Amino acid sequence: MRITSSLEYGMRLMAAIAKADGDAPLSAEKLAREENIPLDYTNQILWKLKSAGVISSRRGSSGGYVLARPPHEITLNRIVIALDGSIFEDVCSKYADAPRECHHQSGCSLSPLWRRLGALLTEFFSSTTLEDLIRGEPATARVEFMPPGRPLPMR
């Protein structure tokens, strides 16, 4: 699994805009330069973020982008969905031959696995806000992942 460059860039842009929250709008040109992202690509990404409602813009000279809400009200899942379309693609429906029916074979051992993974990722991103991000808090938040009580072999 990997992070797309759109998402990496978009997160950086959001972090930069969040850090300047309250100050004058940040122009795309300045953001692109400071984050070392191609300008046209930056524009494209900013447009997606704007469409998703997480930032707003001001045109004209001295225009630029600002947060649409305070940082603690913007959860990262919004950003992920804005840029990647979803947090976790539905595997089950992708391999279904008929709509609304799971065609995973092997008695469909897999769909519970993928559903749980999707839930985990969704939880991860929607539990973290932009404010957490710029404070570096995500590193300290603990995850308790509970498998059945048993030693974990063959790591």
Partner DNA sequence: ATGATACCTGAGTATTTTAGTCAAGTTTTC
Partner DNA sequence: GAAAACTTGACTAAAATACTCAGGTATCAT
Where do contacts with its own copies occur on this chain (CB under 8 A)? 1-3, 8, 11-12, 15-16, 19, 34-36, 69, 72-78, 84, 87-89, 91, 95, 103-107, 109-110, 112-117, 119-121, 123-124, 126-129, 132-134, 136-139, 141-148, 150, 152-155
Q: How far is the CB of 94 from DNA (least distance, A)?
A: 9
Partners of residue 64 on adjacent β-strands: 58
Nearer to its own copies, 60 or 146 (CB): 146
Tokens of 84: 């990647």
Nearer to DNA, 4 or 93 (CB): 4
How many angstroms separate the CA atoms of 92 and 80, rounded?
Answer: 21
Scanning the structure block, which residue is given the tokens 């995500």? 138
Q: How far is the CB of 60 from its own copies (least distance, A)?
A: 26
The contact set with DNA (CB under 7 A) reads 2, 4-6, 9, 25-29, 38, 40-41, 43-44, 46-47, 50, 57-65, 84
Q: How far is the CB of 59 from its own copies (least distance, A)?
A: 25
CB atoms within 10 A of CB 48: 19
Q: How far is the CB of 71 from its own copies (least distance, A)?
A: 11
Angstrom CA distances, 103 to 94, 112, 115, stand at 9, 13, 15
Residue 24 contact, options DNA, its own copies, none, Cβ 5-8 Å cut-off depending on partner type: none
DSSP class of 27? P
Q: How far is the CB of 44 from its own copies (least distance, A)?
A: 18
Nearest to 82 by CA among 56, 126, 48, 55: 48
Tokens of 65: 């982008």
Contact 26/144 with Cβ under 8 angstroms? no
Question: What single-letter amino acid sits at 67?
Answer: L
Residue 15 contact, options DNA, its own copies, none, Cβ 5-8 Å cut-off depending on partner type: its own copies
